[in-house]
Each structure stands twice: as structure tokens, then as C-alpha cells.
Chain A
Amino acid sequence: MTHSAPTSEAGGRDVWIPSACGMCYNQCGIRGHRKDGTLVKIEGNPDNPIGRGRLCARGLAGIQLLYDPHRVNRPLRRTNPEKGIGVDPGWQEIGWDEALDEISERLRKVRERDPRGFFFSGTVISLAPLMHALGTFLPAFGSPSAFVSDGHHCGNAEHILARTLHASVTTNPDVAHCDYLLLFGCQAGLGTYYALTSMAQDVADARVRGMKVVAVDPYLGSAAEKADEWLPIKPGSDGALACAMLNLLLNEYRLFDEAYLRDHADGPYLLTEEGWYARDAESGKPLVWDLAAGRPRPFDAPDLGTPALTGSHPVDGRPCRTVFQALCDQVAKWTPEAAAEVTTIPAQTIRRIAREFGEAAAIGSTIQIDGKSLPLRPASALYFKGAHGHDNAWPTALAIELLNEVVGASNVPGGLLGTNPVCSGHPDTGFPRWRPGPDADGLLEAGALLYNDPYGRTPGWPPPPQSAELPNLRDLVGWPITTCFTPAALNDRENFQFDHRPEVLINYGSNLLMSVARPEVCFEAFEHAFVVCVNLYSDETAEALADIVLPDACYLERLDPLPNFTRHHHPVGLGDWGHTIRQPLVEPLHERRHFSEVLLELADRLGITQPMNLLTNNLFGLVPPHALEPDRSYSWREIADRAYKSWFGEERGLAWFEQHGVIRWPKQVEEVFWKPFIHARAPLYNEWVKRSGEQVAEIARQRGMKGVDTSGFFPLPDWRPCRAWQPREGYDLQAIYYRVPWHTFSMTYENPWLDEISRGEPYSYFVCINTATARARGISDGDPIVVEAADGGSVEGRARLTEGVHPEVLAVANNGGHWAKGMPFARGKGIFFNQLLPMDLPHTDLVSLSMDCDARVRVRKREEA
């Protein structure tokens, strides 16, 4: 059966249309070639600084997503009343009106009874529609019950520190000026991570120029392949390596940036013995020890002398160490030998890497850029999922981040940059703009992290823990960007004592059952709810849970204004800003509809258009005369037009962007390397974490909650083993998963061009096992094997023997192993790793709501039945 050529409003034409990719969360610029109504090619858009005219394998393969015959094309209703993993839903095609009638009726009832019963989850791949829902529909409806659920990609802990230390959502190194890049479980510019297409070019340039790359990773993946040195490590022990390096830099080699720590971080702030900032009795400001004056004074006292960076000093007769001193003392126990024990990296290697990193940072050096003299610290330690996708996420992330801080390689040329924390806006309009600044304690506070911030607000620190009534735990631990723990919390309802349950779940595109943890977790959380999946395919989640499936317009079929509204799409470092449009390369095929338009319709049916309009103004940063009036209805195109005009002026509305595609203007030095120009201190010490920990513990105690372990709410770095690292009798290996550059979560296994890559590549459809480890167990290359987790769950696959993996580790490329009938091409491709992963409090870092994404396992050959 073929689906013949789509209708198009411009048959017979041959056009190239600018737009934005949606095959991963990087949203690079694209151009589509449409001939006689059929999309025949996707390329990068050379006008767009995001991607610079080049695309990864996925972006190029988007055509096969558009024309996949297995796409959902009409709304579907479940006729089989039984829900379950692997159960046939008995889909029946229905009309949109019928579907929306039912959905809006159910939502209306929930809103009357208790709006919190409306749960929403979505995929960050389709970030623009997701934010539209989170930022307007959910609050207009009155539900706080949102959770972002792609589980296994996100860097929750890293996002926290990117905010506190780098004033942004995430980070990327300034490789243009970097000489030494130390990667912990991260493949920036070498396979994955943010701004990949642009970073790939920048990292390649830097490496050819001579930048050394060291990759700390249990598996010889894309990054380790290109690295000058691969340091195989036991999964979950990266924090110990970082702590040992901190110890060496601070206490032995004395390689640290004194001036930076004293003047641009909270290094000199005094800490009471209880671990709080010592504060001035009158002003409440944190105190420092004025060396000349010989007494404690507020950090911002007008005539302050040089403050002490080290030592312990008396405040009201009580000894108070400086933050810097406390840090030095804290890491002193992490000798290289202690770290070697835990990581299996030899102590002398740890010593050497620490010295190399410290020396490469060239503390004290400067560089002239655009007539401005800036500190130059050409060393950068970057980390992501591989390092902190464990239940020791918070201390791991902190330890690695501080490597940059102690040598001053933070937010300066050559060092680790937040992704674009400062924007002064287009020269014509001054929008979009956002800017960090100091808070009352003089500590760094990010500007708006999304869209535009026309009123100059800064969002401030999140509210302290208040209660534990929301399943997404945002009232308990408000920081985490992704809140995939929600299903686990719902399953633990007796403990959490939620007084409401999911009545309706709308799931925008996220394949929860595959992408979060063991599928049973998400299934049980929502099996009694009325579930609507807005999706490209009838995937595992839809088939197990959904009552209705709505056919989503993929990124090639829809309009999203300002798709690069977040900071991390744009490459870091010098270059150009660029904003573009995502517009349909073909009109939605069959009866697919754009989710944003569905939301507008649902809002209309529910009578919440008014608050939604106000929230839309807020979200996009719409300013008069383009702001939406509360009591009018607007089409999606009108909203898009106003968004563009708000940001870029009257002449540059939707029509301008449909034609021109991209607006770009040069970044200024003060935007890119803002730290010397905005005086706000990086908080090395995390007083807020300590406070949160106490408040969380108190809330748990009051409510009688069990299993709430707040010992991890520690303000300084340390290492403790994650669950999978801990030895268990009979289970001698750790299983991890890794990313390959041609797959995005579970979706792309359905794409035949991308599947074809894996079929020609040696590793990604196999379980990688160290050759010696395999031989010792009588396992040969290609043998079918069974991997069983100590915490339950097992997966099967074929063994690929390789030298490129730690002997105690099994490595799998995630996220394959589909079983859904609605994705027949993807079925059986790859290995479903997440069956090995439980999701519950014991496996979770509560500070950041990160899961332990690896498992303690054993392996055996599968006997033929």
C-alpha cells in the first residue's frame, strides 16, 4: 500500500523553503526542496548560524519520517478495553471532531472536579510545541501536573549548575580558544550534545589546531574514538576522579586561580561551623574577612580591603572557614589512590591528568578580543549524561564543574561557557534580550532562560521546598528541568500521600514506556487514566495506554515561530546570533494536525482562551502593539506573526520569515564573554542545597514519608557510589547505554536510512562486552546472551566482543528494541536496555531527580530452548 503524493497548494513548483530541523533537540537550520508537491531533499541552511548549512545523518533523513507509511494519519480510538504492555489496542479510526469532543469533555470534567487531575507530558525534541503547552495551556487550565519525560537524555544536575555557575540552561566549552578538553561521559562536538552540527566543526578545528581531548568513559564511543587519550572508568565513579583532581589542584599542586576565586566567586565568603554563610547582623549580607582591617565585613562593603581566600577567621568569636578553605578541606580525603580504587583509573594517571589540566589552564593569562582584554583559560572540563546519569548525580556534577571554577576557566575564553547567557538583542529592536546579574548575596543569577525577557526580569532562585503534594515533585525539589520521576512517585502514592491522581493524561510525543525506565513503571502510573497520545506513530506507550491517539504533524509539516528560543541551540563563542522559522515544507499530510493548533482549539472549547492569551504574551515576550488582547481569539499564524514582530520589528513578521528564513546579526564580545563585565560571583558553595535538604527532610518527617534520603543535599563535592556501582553477590558487571550520532531516543529506529547505518556498523545493534571478559565466560562474538539485573529485569541481545569497553562493563546503544505493532520497521531493531532500570527513590538523586541509568548485572550465554 502506498500513500501517494500529498496535496500541495503549489503544485508544479520547484522551491527551496527555509525551516528548522526537528530530529533531535538541537533544532538546526534546514532548507527543504519541494518539487511538484513532494519533498525531495533536506539540506542544511547555510544562512543559519545554527548548523552553518550542514546537518547530521538524522536531519538529512527526515524525509523518511515525513513519508513513513506507518505514521498515524487519522485520530484513533481504542476499542480493546484492556490496557497493557504489548496488548493490541484494536485501533479504530475516528474523526477529529469526535476525538476533540471527547477529550474536551473529559478535560472539562477534570477541571471542574480538580484541575490537578490533568497530567501532561511531552518530548523535548519538539520543544517549541512542548513549551507552548507548558507555558500557556497548563497554567491556563490550572494544572501543575506536568512532567517532561524523555528520561534518559537529560542532564538535570548539570542544568542546575549551568544555571548557578554559568547563568544558562547548559554549557559548552569555548573550543575556539581551548587547548585541553576533558570530557566526562560527554561527546560534545564528537557525536552528540548541544549545538552538535556547529560544535562538530568547531571541535574539529580546535583538534587540528592542537587542542588535546581526554575522554573519561566506560565505553570507546564517538568521543573516546577521537580523543587523544581514553580513560576507561567504572560507571558512576566520575565524581571520585574529579574530587581527586580537585584535591591535587588545590592542596598539592596549588594550581588555582586565586584572583578569580576571590573576586568572581564566593571563595572568600565565610562559613559558620553549621555550614551557612556568616552574615552581617544588620544587612544580612555574607561576610568576608578583610585582611587589612583584620575583621569580618560584608562582601560588598565600599572600602573593602583584600579579603582572605583561605583559612579560618573569627566571627562573633566563632571560627569560620572561607568557602575556599572548606572546599580544600573537603576534597583532601580524595587522594589519587582512593580515587583509583573506585574508578580503576591508575593513580599516576590521575596525577598526570590533573597536572595537565591545571597547567593547560594557564592561570593568569589574558587575550585581546575586539580590543577588550579578557582572561584566557584554555582548559575545560565538560560532562553530561554518562557522568551524572546516576543517583549520585548532584555531587558528581558539582565536582566536575568545580574543576573549571578552581582554575578560573569559567565563562571566559577557552573555558566552560554557559550557553549564551547574555543577549542584547537585534540592533534594530533590542529584542530578544536577557541578562544575568548578581542577587542580594552577590551571587550569580541567570536571566530568563527561554524566549524573550522584555521587562528585564530575572527569575530568581526557585522557591524553597514547600510541600510534597505534586507528583512531579516541583513543590518539593523545584530545580529539575525534567521530572520523569513522576510515574515512580505516582506508584509510591501511599508514601507520598498524594490527594489526587491522574484522571487525564495528554502525552505529547514522548514514548514513556521505552524512554524512561522499565515500562511497567510508567504503565502502572497511568493505566487508570484517560490517556491521549499526540504522536507520529502508534508506539509502545500509545498501544499500552492510550484511549485516543491524535495524529501529530511532524516538524516538516508545521509552523513554529522562533524554534530556537532557547539559549542552547545557538553555538557558544563568537559568531552570529540567528533566529529562524519552522514552516511546513509540505502541508500536513492526511489528517495530521499541529499540536499547537490543537491546543488553541481545546482552549477555545474549554473557555480558557483569555488566560491563555495572557500567558502567551508572557511566554513569547510579546510587547504592545503585538501583545495578544485577552478576549480575542487568534489563529496560530497570527500569534506567530506577532511574535516575530515583537522581536524583530513591524517589517519582519511571519511573511518576512517565510520568505527569508533567517535573521542574523553578530554577537558582541560582551555578550559572549560577559563575566568580566557583569560583576556576579559564581557560588562554589551551595548553601541553597543545604537549606533545601533540611526543608525536604522536615517535610518528609511531617508527612511521615519513607525513603526520602536527604544526605545527598550536600553543598560541597564528594563521591558516593551509585546503586549500580555497589557490588552485589553474583552480579559482577555494570551495564550502561551510550548514544550514537544517528539515533535520537527511540524514534529513529523506525527510520530506514538510519537503521541502515546501524546494520552496517559493528556495535550499535549488539551488546558490547570486553573480549577477555567474554572469553572468560565462554561467550563468542555474535552469541545470543542474556543480561540480568540485580534489581530485576533482563534483556537479550547478541554479544559483540571488543577491546573498547571496560572489562566490568556491558555497553548498549540506546534506545532500541521496539515491540509496538505501529512501528513495524523498528520492531526488533537494537536492544531494549531500559528493561534493566527500576525507577524509585532508592535509585534517584533527589536533588536533581536524576536516575541511576546503569544497572548492576550478570551475563550468560542464552541456551537454545
Chain B
Amino acid sequence: MSSIDRLDLRRHDLGQVYRPQRDWIDGRGLLIVVAHFFSGIGAGAWLWSTLYDFRIGQWLSVACVLGLSGVAHLAFLGRWDRFWRMLRRPHRSWISRGIWAIGVFGLAACGVLWPAARSGPVGGFALGLSVAAACAILLYEGFVYAASRAIPFWRTRLLPALYIAYGLRGGAALLLVTAALGGDGFDVASVEAVKLWVVASTAVLVLLYLVAGSRAGGAARESVSQLVAGRISPSFYGGTVLAGIVLPIGLTLGGDALALPELVLLGAIGIASLLGDFYVKYCIVKAGVYVPLVGSAGVQRSGS
């Protein structure tokens, strides 16, 4: 969409009762979804990799969090050259906390991965710190959205819960794909079982999230409506539901019947799951609708 069209869209939006957010999805705004996707699965992958002592997984995790997510974060910003300023307000801003978490994770992960420091108390401290930082990364993203007072659809603790759950399953999916591509030293079977449970629970969370949104009235209901029956429904049904929930569960439960090599099957499950992880974030962010300024109830009534 050209920049002139985008301005026109903004002019049009500002007059609507239900105004969708666009700064965090259109144009370079998409990069924040990309950034959160990579840092989410990266942090999740770190936790699983650390649990199962999967070195390759840990390297992948760092590449995702610092490399892919880091670059996406910077490219998303209007003034990336000033990014260090975002460290200034961890006492008030979830974004600030998140940047700290990523920074700490980066340093701690280096400490874990650096052969010289691996063993011994420094390595142990780094490991603990990296796990804590990875948890913090999983946690903070949902709260960034939930802190947006103007977008009722995001104002729920279910959203951080969703981000954590999706981070975990995304991390696992990443490792499944890695294993499928020939990564050794990874206990696939146990991950698979846990993963099934995680996939199912994310499905339940999504459902809960939508129900809560539609009950919240006004803008949140409009968001849900756009997801399940509006402009976002193709992405929602295709990405979040089909690729992200139906396929992983289906392939896990009934994949044997397909008579595929196990690793191919696992890879398929992983990729489908990753797609779902991306699309759930994409859909939820895209579905953000501002609280109405002046709605159908009149100028002296509140919107919601």
C-alpha cells in the first residue's frame, strides 16, 4: 500500500466508530509481529533446549532472539539509532522491561554458550539468568499489548498467558523442525507428548480469549467479529486454526496413518505449529480496535 493510500486510510479510520489500529500491523508495523514471533519462539526454544540440553537449539534460540528478532525490532522503530533510549524506563514501561530482558538474555546466553565459562559457578549463574530472562521475554510481550489502555481487546491477562503458551509451543515446534532437519541429541518423543498438551491448551486459551473478548462489549466484540467473521477471518481460520491447531493435533494423533517417515512428520507438525504461532500473534494484533471515541450511544455515553 503506497504511503498516500495509507494516509487516506488513516483519515478514513479516524472518522469511524470502530477504528482498527494500523501502526502495529501495516507497513513496517508488521515487523513488530515478526519480532515478537521470533523472540517468543526463541525464548521458548531456549527453555526446551536448556531442559533437554540441546546445544543446537540454544544457538538457534540466540539467533532468533538477538538476530532475527533484534533486527526486526530495530527495523520496526522510526528512529532505530536511538534504540538504547528504550532502556530508560523499566519502572513504568513493559517495552523497556522487554528490551532489558532481551539484553540480559543475550549476555547470559553468551555466558552459557561460551565454552570457557560453561562449567563452574559463572556458567551456572549465566544459565539461571538466561532461563529467567527467557521467561521474562515470554512474559513481557503480552503485557506490552495489555498495557494499551485504548484497545479493549488486548486489555486482559489472558493475552500474556497466550503469549507464554505460544512461546513455549513455538519453541518446541522450532526444535521439532530442527530435529527433522537432522539435529542430533534431541529427545523427540518426550517433547512430542508435552507438545500435544501444549497445543491443546493453546487452543483452549484462544477460545477463552475470543469468548472473553466478545463478552467485553463494544470495541472488543468488534475485534472478535473481525477475527471470526470479518476482514481477518481468512488469516485466523487458515493460519491460527487450521495450520496452528487442527494440523498439529491431527498429525500428532493420526499421523501414523499417513505412513510418513517420523522425522518428516515431526517437521510437518513443527512447521504447521510455527505458522500457527505467527498467525495467532498476527491476527490478535491486527484485530486490535480502539475504544470508540463517540459511538452509537451518543456523545455523552461512554464507549467500551
| A–B touching in complex (CB under 8 Å) | yes
Residues in chain A within 8 A of chain B (CB atoms): 756, 759-762
**Cβ–Cβ < 8 Å partners of A760 in chain B:** 11-12, 14-15
How many whole Å from B5's CB to the nearest CB in chain A?
11
How many whole Å from B97's CB to the nearest CB in chain A?
37
Is the pair B11, A762 in contact by a Cβ cutoff of 8 Å? Answer: no
**Cβ–Cβ < 8 Å partners of A762 in chain B:** 15
* Interface flag for B262 (CB, 8 Å): no
B: number of interface residues (CB 8 Å): 5
Q: How far is the CA of A762 from the CA of B11 in the complex (A)?
A: 10
Q: How far is the CA of A756 from the CA of B8 in the complex (A)?
A: 9
Main secondary structure of the interface of B (DSSP, over half): helix
How many whole Å from B48's CB to the nearest CB in chain A?
49
**Cβ–Cβ < 8 Å partners of A759 in chain B:** 8, 11-12
Q: How far is the CA of A756 from the CA of B7 in the complex (A)?
A: 10
B residues 1-35 touching A (CB-CB < 8 Å): 8, 11-12, 14-15
How many whole Å from B25's CB to the nearest CB in chain A?
21
The 7 closest A-B pairs by CB, nearest first: A760-B11, A759-B11, A760-B15, A759-B8, A762-B15, A760-B14, A756-B11
**Cβ–Cβ < 8 Å partners of B8 in chain A:** 759
B residues 121-165 touching A (CB-CB < 8 Å): none
**Cβ–Cβ < 8 Å partners of A761 in chain B:** 15
How many whole Å from B20's CB to the nearest CB in chain A?
16
How many whole Å from B2's CB to the nearest CB in chain A?
15
B residues 182-239 touching A (CB-CB < 8 Å): none
Interchain Cβ contacts under 8 Å between A and B, 10 examples:
A756-B11, A759-B8, A759-B11, A759-B12, A760-B11, A760-B12, A760-B14, A760-B15, A761-B15, A762-B15
Q: Considering only CB atoms, which chain A residue lies closest to B16 in the complex?
A: A762
Q: Which of A756, A759, A762 is the most central at the interface, judged by chain B CB atoms within 10 Å of its CB?
A: A759
Q: Considering only CB atoms, which chain B residue lies closest to A761 in the complex?
A: B15
Cβ contacts B90-134/A at 8 Å (1 or 0 each): 000000000000000000000000000000000000000000000
Q: Considering only CB atoms, which chain B residue lies closest to A762 in the complex?
A: B15
Q: Considering only CB atoms, which chain B residue lies closest to A757 in the complex?
A: B11
B residues 264-278 touching A (CB-CB < 8 Å): none
How many whole Å from B47's CB to the nearest CB in chain A?
48
A759-B8, A760-B14, A761-B15 are known contacts; what are 5 more A-B pairs with Cβ within 8 Å? A756-B11, A759-B11, A759-B12, A760-B15, A762-B15
How many whole Å from A12's CB to the nearest CB in chain B?
33
Q: Considering only CB atoms, which chain A residue lies closest to B14 in the complex?
A: A760
**Cβ–Cβ < 8 Å partners of B11 in chain A:** 756, 759-760
How many whole Å from A260's CB to the nearest CB in chain B?
43
Number of A-B contacts (CB under 8 A): 10
Q: Considering only CB atoms, which chain B residue lies closest to A759 in the complex?
A: B11
How many whole Å from B294's CB to the nearest CB in chain A?
13
Q: Considering only CB atoms, which chain A residue lies closest to B8 in the complex?
A: A759
How many whole Å from A798's CB to the nearest CB in chain B?
13
Q: Considering only CB atoms, which chain B residue lies closest to A760 in the complex?
A: B11
Q: Considering only CB atoms, which chain A residue lies closest to B15 in the complex?
A: A760
**Cβ–Cβ < 8 Å partners of B12 in chain A:** 759-760
Q: How far is the CA of A683 from the CA of B70 in the complex (A)?
A: 84
How many whole Å from A616's CB to the nearest CB in chain B?
48
How many whole Å from A459's CB to the nearest CB in chain B?
50
Q: How far is the CA of A216 from the CA of B8 in the complex (A)?
A: 34
Q: How far is the CA of A759 from the CA of B11 in the complex (A)?
A: 6
**Cβ–Cβ < 8 Å partners of B15 in chain A:** 760-762
**Cβ–Cβ < 8 Å partners of B14 in chain A:** 760
How many whole Å from B137's CB to the nearest CB in chain A?
39
How many whole Å from B175's CB to the nearest CB in chain A?
48
Q: How far is the CA of A756 from the CA of B4 in the complex (A)?
A: 12
How many whole Å from B162's CB to the nearest CB in chain A?
34
Q: Considering only CB atoms, which chain A residue lies closest to B13 in the complex?
A: A760
How many whole Å from A801's CB to the nearest CB in chain B?
15
Q: How far is the CA of A851 from the CA of B11 in the complex (A)?
A: 37
Q: How far is the CA of A761 from the CA of B14 in the complex (A)?
A: 9
Q: How far is the CA of A759 from the CA of B12 in the complex (A)?
A: 7
B residues 236-282 touching A (CB-CB < 8 Å): none
How many whole Å from B138's CB to the nearest CB in chain A?
40
How many whole Å from A644's CB to the nearest CB in chain B?
45
How many whole Å from A17's CB to the nearest CB in chain B?
33
Q: How far is the CA of A865 from the CA of B15 in the complex (A)?
A: 31
How many whole Å from B116's CB to the nearest CB in chain A?
60
How many whole Å from A155's CB to the nearest CB in chain B?
32
Q: How far is the CA of A428 from the CA of B11 in the complex (A)?
A: 53
Q: How far is the CA of A759 from the CA of B5 in the complex (A)?
A: 11
**Cβ–Cβ < 8 Å partners of A756 in chain B:** 11
Q: How far is the CA of A760 from the CA of B8 in the complex (A)?
A: 8
Q: How far is the CA of A761 from the CA of B11 in the complex (A)?
A: 8
Q: How far is the CA of A803 from the CA of B230 in the complex (A)?
A: 25
Q: Considering only CB atoms, which chain A residue lies closest to B10 in the complex?
A: A760
How many whole Å from B256's CB to the nearest CB in chain A?
50
Q: How far is the CA of A226 from the CA of B78 in the complex (A)?
A: 42
How many whole Å from A153's CB to the nearest CB in chain B?
28
How many whole Å from B298's CB to the nearest CB in chain A?
15
Q: How far is the CA of A762 from the CA of B14 in the complex (A)?
A: 11
How many whole Å from A194's CB to the nearest CB in chain B?
30
Q: How far is the CA of A840 from the CA of B11 in the complex (A)?
A: 41
Q: How far is the CA of A760 from the CA of B11 in the complex (A)?
A: 5
Q: How far is the CA of A592 from the CA of B11 in the complex (A)?
A: 35
Q: Which of A756, A760, A761, A762 is the most central at the interface, judged by chain B CB atoms within 10 Å of its CB?
A: A760
Q: How far is the CA of A709 from the CA of B231 in the complex (A)?
A: 59
Q: How far is the CA of A110 from the CA of B12 in the complex (A)?
A: 54
Q: How far is the CA of A429 from the CA of B110 in the complex (A)?
A: 91
Q: How far is the CA of A761 from the CA of B8 in the complex (A)?
A: 11
How many whole Å from B191's CB to the nearest CB in chain A?
50
Q: How far is the CA of A756 from the CA of B15 in the complex (A)?
A: 12
Q: How far is the CA of A111 from the CA of B14 in the complex (A)?
A: 59
How many whole Å from B144's CB to the nearest CB in chain A?
29
How many whole Å from B12's CB to the nearest CB in chain A?
7
How many whole Å from A663's CB to the nearest CB in chain B?
43
Q: How far is the CA of A489 from the CA of B15 in the complex (A)?
A: 46
How many whole Å from A802's CB to the nearest CB in chain B?
14
How many whole Å from B297's CB to the nearest CB in chain A?
16
Q: How far is the CA of A770 from the CA of B14 in the complex (A)?
A: 24
Q: Considering only CB atoms, which chain B residue lies closest to A758 in the complex?
A: B11
How many whole Å from A771's CB to the nearest CB in chain B?
14
Q: How far is the CA of A101 from the CA of B11 in the complex (A)?
A: 49
Q: How far is the CA of A550 from the CA of B8 in the complex (A)?
A: 35
Q: How far is the CA of A843 from the CA of B26 in the complex (A)?
A: 52
How many whole Å from A803's CB to the nearest CB in chain B?
13
Q: How far is the CA of A760 from the CA of B15 in the complex (A)?
A: 6
Q: How far is the CA of A760 from the CA of B14 in the complex (A)?
A: 7
Q: How far is the CA of A762 from the CA of B12 in the complex (A)?
A: 8
How many whole Å from A745's CB to the nearest CB in chain B?
23
How many whole Å from B237's CB to the nearest CB in chain A?
25
How many whole Å from B120's CB to the nearest CB in chain A?
64
Q: How far is the CA of A759 from the CA of B8 in the complex (A)?
A: 7
Q: How far is the CA of A682 from the CA of B77 in the complex (A)?
A: 72
Q: How far is the CA of A756 from the CA of B12 in the complex (A)?
A: 10
How many whole Å from B37's CB to the nearest CB in chain A?
34
How many whole Å from A468's CB to the nearest CB in chain B?
52
How many whole Å from B212's CB to the nearest CB in chain A?
31
How many whole Å from A848's CB to the nearest CB in chain B?
39
How many whole Å from A737's CB to the nearest CB in chain B?
22
How many whole Å from A286's CB to the nearest CB in chain B?
57
How many whole Å from A176's CB to the nearest CB in chain B?
29
Q: Considering only CB atoms, which chain B residue lies closest to A756 in the complex?
A: B11
Q: How far is the CA of A301 from the CA of B298 in the complex (A)?
A: 64
How many whole Å from B18's CB to the nearest CB in chain A?
14
Q: How far is the CA of A676 from the CA of B15 in the complex (A)?
A: 51
How many whole Å from A273's CB to the nearest CB in chain B?
60
Q: How far is the CA of A762 from the CA of B16 in the complex (A)?
A: 9
